[in-house]
Amino acid sequence: MAYSSTGNPPSRIDSGLLSQRNIRESTSVAEGGAAWTYTSSNLTTDLCATGFFSNAGDLGMRNGDILISGTYSTESSTGHIVVIGMISFDTTAAASLSTDGTITSTHA
């Protein structure tokens, strides 16, 4: 399923949950700190694909923001995956989850 910037955009759940003054002012680490949520049937590989969140800049996402995603591929409990990842901008407007900062969990 393709990302829909109007039908199912990510939602900000907190603007400063993860931000601290020393982190925000550092040039050596990510500048974000907001937490976002996104639910879809997209796979983790989709969320990490270049430019997946095509309107990330318009939504107010920043490098280093955290995204928590509940993804599902089936109605059964084995088809649900929780993804926690860090936003990384691919262009000035579009972002994806950083493959270096993504954790996934599957139901065993």
The 10s digit of each residue's pLDDT in 49-78 is 999 999 999 999 988 889 999 877 666 656
Write out pLDDT tens, residues 40-49: 888 888 999 9
State the sign of the Cα–Cα–Cα–Cα dihedral 66, 88, 42, 5.
Answer: positive
Instruction: Retrieve residue 12's tokens.
Output: 């900000």
Helices (H) and strands (E) in the chain, counts: 3, 6
Instruction: Identify the DSSP state of 96.
Output: E
Predicted TM-score of the model (pTM): 0.77
